[in-house]
Amino acid sequence: MDRPLRVAALASGRGSNLAALIAARLPVEFVLVGSDKAKAGALTVAAEAGIPTVHVSPRDFADRVSFDRALFGKVAEAKPDLLVLAGYMRIIDASVVADWEGRAINIHPSLLPKYRGLHTHRQCLDAGDTEHGASVHFVTAELDGGPVIAQARIPVMPGDTEDALAERLLVEEHRLLPAVVKAIASGRLGWSNGPTFDNQSLSSPLSLRTLL
């Protein structure tokens, strides 16, 4: 590609992953940040970086699919090459997700396929795992179920609490997400009926180390 990768992001929360992505100064152009929450910190992060923002409220729509069509329609209008879900906390209708095959990624705070959905740190502690981590995966209709691209791992320490684990993992998330977007921007990572890395089909997740 002879122009910077056009990146859009959706986020529902404070936006620390978005902030890390912006701070990484990758050769990408951020074309839009959208949220389902008017007060999402992510919208402030984006506005402060001079990135166009959009808020679409689910309350203004009769059902999920009409909301999804409206929000993802706004994203499509910005013509991104890549859509990053950076703490976007809503389930997306399968018909809408289908339009983004191979072009949307999500960051999830667990070593997928372990612990899809919410409360991943608690689930990790409850299971007595000695290791925790974060995954970036391609988005499919299955919640947190698309092909995993790369993972960052941290040890679980004796006496760890949910908050302590979340805080330590967030540091790794902030390295993992920019590393994956960088690999997509450089063309190393792509999609051809499934994830590809250096033109080979990617059969198991990369480690963060491989991407740094």
- Per CB under 6 A, residues contacting ligand GRF are 11, 13-17, 86-87, 107-109, 134, 173
Q: How far is the CB of 114 from ligand GRF (least distance, A)?
A: 14
Residue 86 CB partners (closer than 8 Å, separation 6+): 9, 10, 11, 15, 17, 18, 21, 42, 107, 177
Q: How far is CA 64 from the centre of its chain?
A: 20
Q: Is 45 within 8 Å of 110 (Cβ atoms)?
A: no
Question: Of the two residues 11 and 96, which places its CB atom closer to ligand GRF in the complex?
Answer: 11
Helix (H, G, I), strand (E, B) or coil at 184: helix
Nearer to ligand GRF, 17 or 28 (CB): 17
Residue whose CB is nearest to ligand GRF in the complex, by number: 87
Catalytic residue among 108, 121, 132, 174: 108
Active site residue 108: yes
Q: What is the nearest approach in angstroms of ligand GRF to the Cβ of residue 60?
A: 23
Please return the burial class of 39, using the count of CB atoms within 10 Å of its CB with bins 0-12, 13-18 and 19+. exposed
Smallest distance, Å, CB 88 to ligand GRF? 7
**Residue 15 CB, nearest distance to ligand GRF (Å)?**
5
CA distance 37 to 13: 8
Compare residues 108 and 132 and give the one whose CB is closer to ligand GRF: 108
CB-nearer residue toward ligand GRF: 79 or 111: 111
169, 121 Cβ separation under 8 angstroms: yes
Distance spanning both ends of the chain, measured CA to CA: 21
Active-site residue set: 108
